Amino acid sequence: MSDQTNEYTIEGIDKLKSLVKEINTCLFCTNLKTNDGATTRPMGAVKVCDKGNIWFFSEKDSDKNKEIEQDSNVQLFFAHPGKGSYMVVNGEATISTDREKIEELWTPVVNIWFKEGKNDPNISLIKVKPTSAYFWDTDGNQMINFLKMAASVVTGTNLVSGNAGEIKL
C-alpha cells in the first residue's frame, strides 16, 4: 500500500464519519502513560458529529471515566479486517451528563447497559475530540487481497493496493 492520500477539513470529517460508521467498535484506550493494555476496552461509537467529535455512552462510575478525569488523553483503534479498513484516533476526552445530548444520541441498544433507560442515574457520555487521526484502507475484500498477496509472492510485485493517510480535522 504505497498510495498515500491526505484528507482535508470537511473531507477529513467525512472520512472519519464513514470509517466510524463502517467499523463502529473500537479499542478505547485510557491512562496512556501505563501503556500496559489493562486500560483498553472495546467500545461502540454512537455518533461522529459535524465537528468531528466521537461520542460514546459510559457509566458515570466506570474505571474509564475515572481515568479520563485523571488524564483526558485517549487513543481509539478501529479495525475491520474483513474490509481492510483501519484507523487510529488520538484525542481529548470529556465526560458529559447533558440530558439533551443523551436524548439525542439514545438508541434502544443502549438499554443493554442502562437498565433504567435514558433516565438511569449512572449514565454519562464521553466526547472524544480528535487531535490526530490516521487511516489505512485496502481495495477489495479479504479473500481478494489474500489472492493478491499470494500472487505478489509468486510475481515479486505488490498487487495489493489501497490508501493510507492522515485525516486532517
pLDDT of 45 higher than 80:
yes
- Please choose, from the candidates 47, 53, 45, the residue with its C-alpha nearest in 3D space to the C-alpha of residue 13: 53
As a whole-number percent, the residues of the chain with pLDDT over 90 amount to 58
Instruction: Say which residue, 52 or 158, is predicted with more confidence.
Output: 52
Question: Using one digit for the tens of pLDDT, what is the confidence trace for 80-115?
Answer: 877 778 899 999 999 999 999 999 999 999 999 998
Question: Which pTM was predicted?
Answer: 0.82
Domain-wise residue ranges, the chain: 9-166
CB neighbourhood size of 29 (10 A): 22
Cell of 7: 484528507
Beta-carbon contacts of 139 under 8 Å, excluding residues fewer than 6 positions away, are 84, 145, 160, 161, 162
Domain covering 9-166 assigned CATH 3.40.50.2000 in the classification: no
Task: Give the mean pLDDT of the chain.
Answer: 82
pLDDT score recorded for residue 3:
47
Identify the residue whose cell numbers are 475484500.
141
